[in-house]
């Protein structure tokens, strides 16, 4: 079996292994991968998001440990230090010698650190790996609380990413860029000017057109002197001034390298040695090094094809870039700087709206060559795919404000136009997957073609292609209602119907099912239709809502009292402890800062809750599709890093939104500073304190498909914050599909987060007053559900294990002891020895 050795294990190396294994279905190649870092390949493109959770697992690339693949041998923490091309072996730092039939160099790049005096001082860092961010974080924490400053050397893409990370750590960043504008490779003077203004408004100080002459130690801080004589007192410095290819192995083994560095390869990614290939940032394809991931992925695919006997060559690379910097959209594509002879530029700079849009076209104005978008990049996917092709309308009309110009649709794209540049997926390939292979949803398209699985910027295009191909995705709630949940919500709200039987008879068919009944019950509860166990509504609820408790695997139930913001008095703690002891319940403190009590039988629930309600507790709604918790850190009350009272706000928000029935459960968090101890950005809505107010993030979800929340508004006062959350929740409750979390709901909104912001912040639809009134009505009408049960004999009668023998315990429920607590015994399931 021939062996291919891969030197390096970054994103591109991992893509090569994936591509080779997909093409080599028979497993003819043995793959040995040497990774310098101690962890498998991770998403370095999303490195800045590591600051959101400080969880390396959030950046892990699926399958990068090759745990289920016997043909791949991954050796982490072992770097290749030499290559013997004649013997065809590599030697690692540990002295291990590995023979190869083919060698793939995927050593990536290293940060470029200019020869600035003081660059080796403590407190000076580079921005490249997870370990780099961990070191920066540790240094920032050592500086303690208060006004802390940092300097980033480099105002390009990586520099602004670094500035964002520092800002999220609670530091005030200075960005120093030698060029006269930020992101000089991606944007022009017009776009750079607007970008500077937008970034400056986000508490980042920008210094352009100047260098860093020296860095000196100044007590526990650093003093940086710029070329324009400015001196900056900072706590740490981060170099993010570009990258240089790591071509040392190639040089030392006698391989050809490019004039400006990089392992010189041809269009097949083969080096001057036919047995050696190079891919990614260490490679110079016909003399050019690419510092973005999409060309690297293309190289990986080319080499995998070569090794499996398929002819392939490096295509014309797509160097387009789209990103969101601190909530600011920036995109460039094609010939963004009008370098093509005879090219013309058409630009619209709307300083009031905070947008800059430029198209570069041929001299006759008919063919798109490239463009720059700052502040609003909604058209990026379509325009990027049109590069080199005739425009469907006059370029000026394409740049006109929304509603005033010509729209560019997917119909304007030819089949060969690339929709997903990260994975090289064309419109034609996607269209065939839809029309010939029956992929009738975005999720199926992603699984089949890999489009949208890397940076995700092309996902909206996938939905548009489905529509263009005539794939009508059913909006029906179920077989009994042709309407979507959102449409049914508006029908019930407008008609003021209060019973399911009336609703299904007028707007549906049949008698309903386990899908539509709970959905309608939730809508009725949201609209204030009385107690959920009152009248006909009781029969609509699912198992958990039927008994206001979560059923567990052995048929018992859990009891979860609300503990707003996680704050509780010793007296109430003692009540919970006494109830748990008296009823023999298993107790566990949850990640949502509550105490769960497990093992209660149905007939015990009223007695337990009577004790809890008398002590001042309310239902925690752990069983409902509603607000669960608002998690908080201790904030400025106790923490030396806290800048706002996160506990007080968390309590106010949890009490404000308690009992709000919704399409899915809602979780929230409030962090008192950028250290983010409440993990607010992993919540449906999360609030993070700043020195000027609050930042609101929305659309974060945990669970099976984790997603970080996105910034909606920043540095707002408490009144504005609460008003915005009110509108966000009400708009979600009204328009989301059944069992749809906030993350996919925002993703599927036409226009995504930008549309959401326009609706609930700018009131673009004129509905904010109505949303405000709806939330006020909910707050005014809230009553505790368990108190309502205890005060109603008819509702209490439901809580019996056996209707014909009230008070008789269920003999099928049993427990055993473990770790001094009781746990369920499942009948018919053998116990596992411990």
660 and 762 assigned to the same domain? yes
Separation of first and last alpha carbons in the chain: 43
Which long-range CB contacts under 8 A does 773-776 form with residues at least 24 apart?
774/730, 775/726, 775/727, 775/729, 775/730
Residue 282 belongs to domain spanning: 3-109+245-307
Q: Is the pLDDT of residue 3 over 60?
A: yes
Mean pLDDT within 460-474: 75
Quick check: is 118 in a domain?
A: no
Q: The CATH number of the domain where 372 resides is what?
A: 3.30.390.30
Least confident of 77-86, 93-102, 355-364: 355-364
Q: Which of 11-15, 195-199, 202-206 has the highest mean pLDDT?
A: 11-15
Mean of the pLDDT values across residues 562-579? Answer: 93
* Domains: count for the chain: 7
Q: Is 821 left (phi over 0), alpha (psi -120 to 50) or beta?
A: beta
The answer to whether residue 591 is domain-embedded is: yes
Q: What percentage of the chain has pLDDT greater than the value 90?
A: 52
Checking if the pLDDT of 413 tops 80, the result is no
* Range in 20-29, 103-112, 234-243, 780-789 the model is least confident about: 20-29
Bigger pLDDT: 429 vs 151: 151
* pLDDT value at residue 17: 95
550 and 513 share one domain: no
Are 393 and 382 in contact by the 8 Å Cβ rule? The answer is no
Q: Would 312 be classed as within a structural domain?
A: no
* DSSP-assigned beta bridge partners for residue 697: 686, 711
**Residue 690 forms part of a structural domain:** yes
- Does residue 796 have a pLDDT over 70? yes
Q: Which of 43-57, 418-432, 456-470, 627-641 has the highest mean pLDDT?
A: 627-641
| pLDDT of amino acid 456 | 62
Give the three-state DSSP class for 240. coil
> How confident is the model at residue 436, as a pLDDT?
84
818 burial via Cβ count (<10 Å: 0-12, 13-18, 19+): exposed
- The beta-strand segments (E) located in 618-723 are 627-632, 666-671, 685-690, 693-698, 710-716
The residue from 190, 216, 241 where one domain ends is: 241
Chain mean pLDDT for the chain = 88
Q: Residues 79, 252: contact at Cβ < 8 Å?
A: no
Q: What is the pLDDT of residues 114-135, one digit of tens each?
A: 999 999 999 999 999 999 999 9
Domain endpoint, select from 207, 241, 275: 241
Q: What is the mean pLDDT of residues 89-117?
A: 96
Q: Quote the pLDDT of residue 708.
A: 82
Joined together, the tokens standing for residue 668 give 């929230």
What is the per-residue pLDDT across 141-151, written as a single tens digit (0 to 9) for each?
887 655 689 99
Is the pLDDT reported for residue 832 higher than 50? no
The reply to whether 475 falls in a domain is: no
Residues 288 and 274 in one domain: yes
Task: Give me the helix-helix angle, 500-507 and 485-495, nearest 10°.
Answer: 110
Least confident of 407-416, 735-744, 763-772: 407-416
Domain termination residue (choose one: 541, 557, 585): 541
Q: What is the pLDDT of residue 211?
A: 94
Residue 713 has pLDDT above 80, yes or no: yes
Residue 41 and residue 35 in contact, taking contact as beta carbons nearer than 8 Å = yes
- Two tokens, residue 164: 């964002």
Q: What is the mean pLDDT of residues 714-727?
A: 96
Pair (47, 196) in one structural domain: no
Query: With 0-12 CB in 10 A as exposed, 13-18 as middle and 19+ as buried, what is 764?
Result: middle
Instruction: Tell whether 10 and 70 lie within a shared domain.
Output: yes
Question: What pLDDT is attached to residue 457?
Answer: 63
Q: How far apart are CA 778 and CA 801, in angstroms?
A: 33
The candidate with the shortest Cα–Cα distance to 634, out of 567, 686, 573, 581, is 567
Strand spans (E) along 57-157: 72-76, 80-84, 89-92, 97-99, 102-105, 109-111, 124-126, 149-153
- Whole-angstrom Cα distance, residue 544 to residue 542? 6
Quick one: tokens of 679? 């993990």
CB 745 within 8 A of CB 751: no
Report the alpha-carbon distance of residue 82 to residue 96 in Å, rounded.
11
pLDDT band of residue 610 (cuts 50, 70, 90) is: very high
pLDDT the model gives residue 512: 83
Question: Which of 174-178, 248-252, 466-470 has the weakest average pLDDT?
Answer: 466-470
Beta bridge partners of 821: 818
pLDDT confidence tier of residue 408, bands split at 50, 70 and 90? low
Give the model's confidence band at 402: pLDDT under 50 very low, under 70 low, under 90 confident, else very high. Answer: very low
Which of the four pLDDT bands, split at 50, 70 and 90, describes residue 697? very high
Count Cα atoms within 13 angstroms, Cβ side, for 487. Answer: 10
Q: Between these two residues, 529 and 249, which has the higher pLDDT value?
A: 249
pLDDT per residue as tens digits for the range 508-540: 988 888 788 889 999 998 888 888 888 888 878
Instruction: Find tokens 């006698």 and name the residue.
Output: 254
CATH of the domain at 465: 1.10.10.1100
Check pLDDT > 90 for residue 471: no
Mean pLDDT of 44-69: 85
CA distance 531 to 774: 18
pLDDT of residue 299: 95
| Per-residue pLDDT, 704 | 56
pLDDT at residue 467, as a whole number: 78
What sign does the CA torsion over 437, 438, 442, 447 have?
Answer: negative
CATH number of the domain residue 170 falls in: 3.50.50.60
Q: Are residues 642 and 753 in the same domain?
A: yes
Residue 829: is its pLDDT beyond 60?
Answer: no
Residues 758 and 697 reside in one and the same domain: yes
Which two tokens mark 602? Answer: 């149905």
pLDDT interval class at 812 (50, 70, 90) = low
Compute CA 53 distance to the chain's CA centroid, rounded to the nearest angstrom.
11
The answer on pLDDT for 589 being more than 60 is yes
CB-CB contact of 108 with 280 (8 Å): yes
- DSSP string of 263-274, one letter each residue: EEE-TT-B-SST
pLDDT of residue 321 exceeding 90: no
The continuous run of DSSP H or E covering 374 comes out as strand 368-374
Where does residue 811 rank: exposed (0-12), middle (13-18), buried (19+ CB within 10 A)?
exposed
What pLDDT sits at residue 460? 66
Look at residue 187 and tell me if it is in a domain: yes
User: Where is pLDDT greater, at 34 or 377?
Assistant: 34
pLDDT at residue 338 is higher than 70: yes
Predicted local confidence at residue 123, as pLDDT: 94
Cβ neighbours of residue 828 closer than 8 Å, sequence gap 6 or more? none
Q: Is the pLDDT of residue 307 over 90?
A: yes
Q: Which two tokens stand for residue 733?
A: 């409750």
**551 and 452, same structural domain?**
no
Q: Which two tokens stand for residue 423?
A: 């994975």
Provide the percentage of residues in the chain whose pLDDT is more than 70.
93
Whether pLDDT at 687 is above 90: yes
Is residue 605 located within the same domain as residue 573?
yes
Q: Is the pLDDT of residue 60 over 90?
A: no
- DSSP annotation of 157: H
Q: Do 659 and 772 fall into the same domain?
A: yes
Query: Does the global pTM surpass 0.85?
Result: no
Specify if 115 maps to a domain: no
Distance (Å, whole) CA 188 – CA 379: 18
What's the pLDDT band for 615 if we cut at 50, 70, 90? Answer: very high
- 633 and 767 part of one domain: yes
634 and 778 part of one domain:
yes
């Amino acid at each position: 079996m021939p062996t291919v050795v891969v030197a390096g294990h970054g994103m591109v190396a991992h893509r090569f292994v994936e591509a080779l294994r997909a093409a080599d279905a028979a497993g003819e190649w043995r793959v040995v991968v040497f990774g310098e870092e101690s962890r498998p390949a991770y998403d370095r493109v999303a490195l800045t998001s590591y600051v959101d959770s400080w969880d390396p697992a959030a950046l892990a690339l699926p399958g990068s440990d090759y745990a289920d693949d016997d043909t791949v041998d991954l050796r982490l923490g072992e770097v290749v230090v030499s290559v013997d091309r004649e013997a065809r072996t590599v030697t690692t730092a540990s002295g291990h010698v590995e023979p190869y039939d083919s060698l793939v160099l995927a050593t990536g790049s290293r940060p470029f650190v200019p020869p600035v005096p003081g660059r080796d001082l403590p407190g000076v860092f580079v921005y490249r790996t997870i370990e780099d961010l961990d070191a920066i974080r540790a240094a920032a924490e050592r500086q303690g609380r208060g006004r802390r400053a940092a300097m980033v050397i480099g105002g390009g893409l990586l520099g602004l990413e670094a500035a964002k990370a520092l800002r999220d750590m609670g530091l005030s960043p200075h960005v120093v860029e030698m060029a006269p504008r930020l992101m000089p490779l991606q944007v022009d003077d017009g776009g750079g000017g607007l970008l500077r203004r937008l970034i400056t408004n986000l508490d980042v100080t920008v210094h352009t057109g100047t260098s860093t002459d020296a860095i000196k130690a100044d007590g526990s801080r650093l003093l940086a002197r710029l070329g324009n004589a400015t001196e900056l007192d900072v706590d740490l410095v981060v170099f993010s001034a570009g990258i240089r290819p790591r071509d040392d192995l190639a040089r030392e083994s006698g391989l050809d390298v490019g004039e400006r560095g990089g392992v010189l390869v041809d269009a097949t990614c083969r080096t001057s040695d036919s047995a050696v290939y190079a891919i990614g940032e260490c490679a110079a394809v016909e003399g050019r090094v690419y510092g973005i991931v999409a060309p690297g992925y293309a190289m990986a695919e080319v080499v995998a094809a070569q090794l499996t006997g398929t002819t392939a060559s490096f295509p014309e690379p797509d160097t387009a870039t789209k990103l969101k910097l601190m909530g600011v959209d920036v995109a460039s594509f094609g010939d963004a700087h009008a370098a093509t002879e005879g090219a013309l530029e058409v630009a619209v700079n709307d300083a009031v709206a905070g947008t800059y849009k430029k198209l570069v076209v041929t001299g006759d104005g008919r063919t798109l060559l490239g463009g720059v978008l700052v502040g609003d990049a909604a058209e990026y996917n379509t325009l990027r795919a049109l590069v080199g092709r005739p425009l469907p309308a006059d370029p000026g009309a394409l740049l006109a404000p929304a509603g005033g110009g010509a729209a560019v649709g997917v119909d304007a794209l030819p089949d060969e136009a690339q929709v997903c540049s990260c994975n090289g997926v064309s419109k034609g390939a996607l269209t065939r997957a839809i029309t010939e292979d029956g992929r009738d949803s975005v999720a199926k398209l992603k699984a089949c073609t890999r489009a949208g699985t890397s940076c995700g910027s092309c996902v909206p295009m996938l939905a548009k292609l489905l529509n263009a191909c005539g794939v009508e995705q059913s909006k029906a709630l179920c077989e009994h209602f042709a309407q979507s949940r959102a449409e049914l919500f508006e029908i019930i709200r407008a008609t003021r119907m209060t019973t399911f039987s009336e609703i299904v008879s007028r707007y549906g068919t049949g008698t309903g099912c386990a899908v539509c009944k709970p959905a309608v019950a939730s809508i009725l509860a949201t609209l204030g239709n009385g107690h959920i166990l009152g009248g006909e509504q009781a029969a609509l609820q699912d198992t958990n809502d039927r008994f206001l408790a979560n059923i567990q695997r052995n048929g018992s139930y859990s009891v979860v009292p609300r503990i707003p913001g996680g704050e509780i008095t010793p007296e109430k703690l003692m009540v919970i402890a006494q109830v748990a002891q008296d009823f023999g319940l298993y107790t566990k403190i949850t990640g949502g800062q509550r105490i769960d009590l497990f093992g209660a039988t149905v007939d015990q629930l009223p007695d337990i809750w009577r004790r809890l309600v008398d002590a001042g507790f309310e239902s925690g709604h752990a069983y409902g599709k509603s607000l669960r918790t608002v998690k908080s850190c201790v904030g400025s009350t106790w923490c030396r890093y806290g800048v706002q009272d996160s506990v007080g706000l968390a309590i106010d928000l949890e009490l404000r939104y308690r009992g709000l029935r919704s399409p899915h459960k809602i979780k929230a968090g409030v962090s008192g500073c950028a250290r983010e101890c409440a993990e607010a950005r992993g919540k449906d809505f999360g609030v993070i304190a700043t020195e000027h107010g609050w930042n609101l993030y929305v659309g974060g979800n945990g669970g099976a498909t984790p997603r970080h929340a996105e910034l909606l508004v920043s540095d707002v006062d408490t009144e504005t914050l609460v008003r915005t959350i009110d509108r966000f929740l009400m708009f979600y409750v009204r328009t989301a599909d059944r069992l749809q979390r906030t993350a996919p709901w925002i993703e599927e909104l036409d226009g995504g987060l930008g549309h959401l912001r326009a609706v609930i912040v700018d009131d673009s639809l004129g509905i904010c007053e109505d949303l405000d009134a709806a939330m006020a009505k909910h707050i005014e009408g809230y009553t505790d559900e368990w108190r309502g049960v205890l005060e109603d004999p008819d509702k209490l009668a439901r809580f019996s294990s056996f209707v014909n023998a009230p008070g008789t315990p269920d003999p099928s429920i049993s427990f055993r002891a473990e770790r001094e607590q009781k746990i369920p015994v499942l009948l018919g399931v053998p116990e596992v020895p411990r």
